[in-house]
Amino acid sequence: MSRQRLRRHLPGGALALAISLCAAPSFAASGYNKPPEPILGTMHTPLPPSAIGDPTNRTLLMVQQAQYPSIKRVAEPYLKLGGVRIEPRTRARHDASSGYGIRACLEGFSLIDIASGKERKIALPAGACPGMPGWSPDGKRFAFNNTVADHVELWVGDVASGTAHRVDGVALNTILDNDIQWLDGGNTLLVKQVPANLGAAPSRSEAPIAPEIKESLGGKGESSTYESRDTLTGPEDEVLFDYYTTSQLAKVDVATDKVTPYGKPATIAGVDVAPDGKHVLFETLKRPYSYVTTWERFAKDTSVLDTTDGSVKVIDSSPVADRVPVRGVPIGPRDFGWRANAPATLVWAEALDGGDWKTSVPNRDKVMMQGAPFTAKPVEVLRTPQRFSGMAWLAQGDEPFVYEYDANRHWMRVTRVDVASPGKAPKVIWDYSTDEKYKAPGSLVMQRQPNGSVVVQEDAGKVYLRGNGSSPQGDRPFLDRYDLASGKTERLFRSSADAYERVGSVLPGGTRFLVSKQSPVDPPNVFMATLGATTSAADGEAAYANSTTPVTHITDPMPQVRGAKKRLVTYKRKDGVDLSFTLYTPPGYKEGTRLPAVLYAYPQDFADPSQAGQVSGSQKTFDFLRGYRLLLLAGYAIIDNASFPIVGDPKSAYDTYLDQLVADAQAAVDKAVELGVVDRDRIGVTGHSHGALMTANLLAHTTLFRAGVATSGSYNKTLTPFGFQNERRSLWAATPVYEQASAFFHADKIKSPLLIMHGMDDANPGTEPIQSPKLFQAIRGLGGTTRLVMLPYEPHWYTAMESNEQEVYEMLTWFDRYVKNAPARQATTK
């Protein structure tokens, strides 16, 4: 249905409403709507740059990012092939590697010398579209790709000269990622380039015309639900996929720009350089391709290239993995990687439970190792009771940190294992629930070695842990030092209570470190912190007094929004579960004034009620207003990130999903009203993705909200029949649960106005674009008040400036009409 025909069935356009801080929304000639000032100007304010420190801690690379690209950029034509979106014109990947957004162009780079604070801007051509840069291990250079009209260039930056140059004769292939890697300390790059003489792209007519056929010849095949339009659909797609993903590995001498090809062109996916800089692990996709899953699970060969003689050794050949259980892993060898502290030793895992977490076995995985020249039989070094999740190696020694995860209990176990003595029992270091925020030990601080490998940073037998420092008062990030011999932990740094400070890199010796610091009125800046004498904090916790010296001097890009205030609010659900939200009030707010409000939440699943209400996030961060938060500038209060836990055994928690959802909402609304800030009769609700389902369900099952805005939601869970969120049962095993959770089946109860928005090119499994039109049709057919806005070219998260302007315009107009300026209800809501 066209936009014009849709309008006949939707409530009218912009409202000429007088609001305290904004003029009435205007209509843009392009067909997109724009919100009024000061919201519009805030959306167009440039973001401050972000800092990327070099491995030697001498230089910061400042990266300038745009708030939003233009719709012209987002609308660049692309092909949907095997789970990637490919731009034929530029031969670049259209979507971000996460699959949830659009690959964006950075706006520029500058270099800051950490010692002196001197900044130098890197000159780039007008209209450049650079990607995220990567430092060389020696910190002397950085490399990045740059997308131009018909290919992707390779560029190398030089710290000493403060310049960057294009490497001529290289057209990068960025489609399956891993397009640029440093091969040694900083003199050579390994790249994936478009093969020479590949020729013009095949047209679809050059492939044989044939029916699209999928079949199943028995055996269970439950797996995540993928959109058929993004998987391959026939021989024509296979030909195009081969053409655009075929790469040639090549070495680039960054001093001379000499390019030396390695091996033959192939459909190369993952690429990983060994610590010795001579061996390269790479994956080659092979036919037959699958039409029901994406390229990550295609059949493939895992091989090692020896760059000294060009020889290739195939380590493993795996078949297509299109029958992997939801939250499971493929059978056979998987997750290949290099041992970080050995020249060229491979490490991988193999499932012992058929890849299915529902199978009860003593051990789920075994971990194997094999060293160059890869002719000896692989050695089993350990077995893990839960799913193997990786290793973190020290620079020397045979005892890495081993991570294993229990998806059913949300539990992480970290051990140290002597891989040189496979029969020796592992030493448990940490054993904790990943839902536990207050006692989380933090993450090991890693460092890049001169050869490029990444290891755990160690100083005199001690390693460092960096964490969020969650507490009932909010996050206060910390840096700890852990003694490998005694197992004792010492706190070196904790963020001050009046700011949000997070440690970036730790300098050798552990007495100096780079810290990112921000506050509600100060944008994030980098400081050099130096440890002082031991002291005792006000809360009794031992700590060090630290002195800091500013490295960057970034100013506030949005001073117009600093008048908005926020506070942490804690409360309880009727069953005693602790909850919290952040309450934002608009600039100029006077205490005691009751405001219209918008509640935003995203339901999350917890096995333990004591962890469900733990506070996360900080009230001391510097806010960049985006999306629904921009409504602060129109006089709304925002009940932000309200806790909406779904608590219970993961095997059955969704049996009470609706009851808990309603209880979460009731508690949040009651508390906001109790504070004297929010008008109970003028509250709207909004959410994205799983939060959009929440929004629709709250309108169907409560009278707490006057209206709702649901973006990119999944409203009919029978379309994802093998599980959703933390629900592990299939539709056929738990039919009532799927029906209860699906707002589509309760459309007849949605009496409050619901604005539904969705990106037309949403590729997120479970939130296919068809979900929103079907809910709209149901509500409309049942006589409800609703509006459907489908955003062209947009994925799961809206990317273009025009699309984001439209979203905010629609939200503001909808809530102004049905919440802020709605007539009083006849009866008091509960």
- Whether 151 is catalytic: no
Asked whether 241 and 232 are in contact (CB, 8 A), the reply is: yes
Closest CA to 685 of 599, 795, 802: 599
The token duo for 167 is 């490497």
CA gap 664, 673 in Å, rounded: 15
The two counts, helices (H) then strands (E), for the chain are: 10, 49
Q: Reading across the β-sheet that carries 411-416, which strands appear in turn?
A: 387-392, 401-406, 411-416, 427-433
DSSP label at residue 561: G
Residue 627: how many other CB atoms lie within 10 Å: 16
Phi, psi (5° rounding) for residue 328? -100, -170
Cis peptide bond upstream of 125, omega within 30: no
Report the chain's terminal Cα–Cα distance, integer Å. Answer: 39
- Whether 762 is catalytic: yes
Q: Which of 761, 796, 803, 816 is catalytic?
A: 796
Cα–Cα distances (Å) from 200 to 133, 150, 206, 243, 269, in that order, read: 30, 12, 12, 9, 22
Write down the residue that tokens 């949907």 correspond to. 80
Amino acid identity of residue 132, one-letter, is: M
H or E element, residue 765: none
CA gap 159, 507 in Å, rounded: 20
Closest CA to 112 of 161, 170, 62: 62
Cα–Cα distances (Å) from 313 to 245, 310, 744, in that order, read: 22, 10, 53
DSSP H stretches of helix in 552-640: 609-612
Phi, psi (5° rounding) for residue 780? -60, -45
DSSP E strand stretches across 204-257: 246-253
Q: Which of 475, 578, 761, 762 is catalytic?
A: 762
Show Cβ contacts of residue 310 under 8 Å, excluding neighbours closer than 6 positions: 262, 263
| Beta-strand relationship, 786-791 and 754-759 | parallel
The token duo for 113 is 């010398």
Q: Which of 495, 689, 714, 772 is catalytic?
A: 689
DSSP label at residue 205: G
Report CA torsion sign: 430, 431, 434, 438: negative
The token duo for 9 is 């069935």
Closest CA to 443 of 469, 409, 417, 422: 469
Q: What is the 3-state secondary structure (H, E, C) of 504-522?
A: EEECCCCCEEEEEEEECCE
Closest CA to 669 of 565, 816, 571, 743: 571
Report CA torsion sign: 57, 61, 67, 69: negative
One-character DSSP codes across 664-689: HHHHHHHHHHHTT-EEEEEEEEEEET
Burial class (CB in 10 A: 0-12, 13-18, 19+), 126: exposed
- Whether 205 is catalytic: no
Cα–Cα distances (Å) from 70 to 27, 75, 396, 628, in that order, read: 18, 9, 49, 20
Burial class (CB in 10 A: 0-12, 13-18, 19+), 656: middle
Which of the residues are catalytic?
689, 762, 796
